[in-house]
């Protein structure tokens, strides 16, 4: 057995890590609150939103033109229709349309009774006095008009509970007449970094020290995912201090995330703190690169997820494990990470027993098809490999490597989409 296979023996996949945590956290419910539409973006809907009425409530015109009876036009294609009135959005023509007559109509206006099609004005000829119109197009019942309920039908679920609300959701809720929504309260996530070697950005770093990039990065990811943050700062290599801070965080937060100190070296104190506090350990070590030395446990109903100290590894472990667990705590619907099959433009060898996640950018072949290229320098600590990347590429456990032209699972960063 290779050294790599031995090293990763007993490690689990990110999907199994998430499943183990969610099984233990099943049944935890969140309180609900009512918010305005202005406050709703990014929140998680607590109850199915049901359409109270059809939208549109009536048939309405899809174009500017003339509303007529399509069957009458079919029988009298050369007929000059008297223009019997005008209908605009918000200003309907309320009388029935006389047989053989037309109504000047504009987009969004209610279809008058007695009409069932709209002739686009570009295909109509008005008489010089503007009182009659001849239609130069063939129409069928329903041409160029939107039926009642085309957008929403009364009683249908328009947004499912567990949806994280975005601009489209806000728009459809408003269109259905809702100005407030019931959402889950947002989980409070505790965050801390560990290690004597790190100092906050803005403070001088002594010889052998570095600025803490993980806490700002993870704080941004946590807030961007819609959670509230409680920052516990940087804890040095002091086991007793770490245990005290973790006890405070676990008692006052819905989940806690740490970075650094998650391995089993002399100065890695997370495992000892978990034992001291009586945290029930769920797993330790993932079968991935970067991100192997991740551990997680639960104290009561509060998960503790300890991410590696290397920045790229911390990023990957948050996206693949911590983020999905937090999303479930927030009451969101479970949705797998987007994976798109894209051809590789590079070759790569990897060790046995682990999946690998490489930073990539999209380029395009001569025929316009997308191709993946490696991005940045290698290494779990090379933070610059994340900046400018379009996403990650997943090389499965069973693959021994990648050849040019192989199809791989591309996982785009959210920032690269619309």
The pLDDT, as a whole number, for residue 417 is 76
Among 42-46, 221-225, 226-230, 236-240, the least confident range: 236-240
Q: How far apart are CA 291 and CA 307, in angstroms?
A: 8
Instruction: Classify burial at 16, counting beta carbons within 10 Å of its beta carbon; exposed 0-12, middle 13-18, buried 19 or more.
Output: middle
Give the pLDDT confidence of 20-47 residue by residue, as tens digits.
Answer: 999 999 988 889 999 999 999 999 999 9
Other CB atoms within a 10 A radius of the CB of residue 137 amount to 15
The pLDDT, as a whole number, for residue 9 is 81
The pLDDT, as a whole number, for residue 376 is 85
Give the pLDDT confidence of 90-129 residue by residue, as tens digits.
Answer: 999 999 999 999 999 999 999 999 999 999 999 999 999 9
The pLDDT, as a whole number, for residue 263 is 64
pLDDT of 2 higher than 90: no
Find the angle CA(79)-CA(81)-CA(83) to the nearest 5 degrees. Answer: 170
254-272: average pLDDT: 80
pLDDT of 267 higher than 60: no
Pairing assessment for the beta strands 288-289 and 355-364 based on DSSP bridges: parallel
User: For residue 297, what are the CA distances in angstroms to 12, 28, 127, 187, 322?
Assistant: 14, 16, 81, 18, 12
Give the pLDDT confidence of 200-213 residue by residue, as tens digits.
Answer: 999 999 999 999 99
Mean pLDDT for all residues in the chain: 94
Give the pLDDT confidence of 163-202 residue by residue, as tens digits.
Answer: 999 999 999 999 999 999 999 999 999 999 999 999 999 9
Domains observed in the chain? 3-30+186-329 (3.40.980.10), 34-54+154-184 (3.90.105.10), 60-146 (2.170.190.11), 340-416 (2.40.340.10)
Radius of gyration of the chain (CA): 30
Residue carrying the six token digits 């060790």: 351
Q: How far apart are CA 298 and CA 250, in angstroms?
A: 9
The pLDDT, as a whole number, for residue 292 is 94
């Amino acid at each position: 057995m290779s050294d790599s296979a031995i090293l990763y023996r007993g490690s689990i996949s990110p999907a199994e890590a998430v499943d183990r945590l969610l099984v233990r956290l099943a049944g935890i419910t969140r309180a609900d609150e009512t918010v305005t539409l202005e406050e709703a973006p990014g929140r998680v809907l607590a109850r199915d939103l049901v359409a109270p009425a059809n939208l549109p409530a009536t048939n309405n015109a899809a174009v500017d033109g003339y509303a007529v009876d399509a069957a009458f036009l079919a029988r009298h294609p050369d007929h000059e229709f008297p223009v019997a009135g005008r209908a605009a959005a918000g200003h309907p023509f309320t009388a029935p349309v006389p047989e053989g007559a037309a109504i000047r109509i504009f987009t969004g206006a209610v279809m008058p009774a007695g009409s069932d099609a709209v002739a686009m004005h570009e295909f109509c000829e008005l008489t010089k006095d503007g009182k009659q119109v001849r239609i130069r197009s063939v129409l069928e019942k329903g041409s160029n008009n939107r039926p009642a309920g085309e957008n929403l039908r009364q009683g249908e679920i328009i947004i499912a509970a567990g949806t994280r609300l975005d601009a489209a959701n806000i728009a459809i809720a408003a269109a259905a007449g809702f100005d407030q929504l019931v959402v889950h309260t947002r989980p409070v996530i505790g965050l801390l970094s560990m290690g004597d070697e790190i100092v906050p950005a803005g403070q001088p770093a002594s010889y052998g020290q570095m600025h803490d990039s993980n806490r700002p990065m993870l704080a941004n990811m946590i807030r961007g995912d819609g959670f509230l943050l409680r920052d516990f700062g940087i804890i040095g290599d002091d086991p007793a201090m770490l245990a005290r801070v973790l006890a405070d965080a676990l008692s006052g937060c819905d989940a806690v995330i740490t970075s650094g100190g998650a391995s089993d070296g002399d100065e890695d104190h997370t495992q000892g703190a978990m034992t001291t506090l009586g945290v029930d350990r769920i797993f330790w070590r993932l079968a991935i690169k970067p991100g192997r030395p991740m551990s997680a446990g639960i104290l009561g109903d509060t998960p503790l997820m300890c991410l590696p100290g290397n920045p790229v590894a911390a990023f990957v472990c948050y996206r693949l494990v911590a983020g999905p667990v937090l999303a479930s705590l927030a009451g969101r619907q479970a949705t797998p990470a987007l994976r798109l099959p894209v051809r590789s433009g590079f070759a790569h060898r990897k060790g046995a027993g682990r999946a690998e996640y490489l930073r990539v950018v999209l380029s395009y072949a001569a025929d316009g098809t997308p191709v993946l290229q490696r991005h940045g320098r290698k290494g779990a600590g090379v933070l610059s490999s994340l900046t400018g990347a379009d996403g990650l590429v997943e090389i499965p456990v069973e693959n021994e490597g990648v050849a040019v032209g192989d199809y791989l699972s591309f996982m785009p960063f959210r920032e690269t989409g619309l």
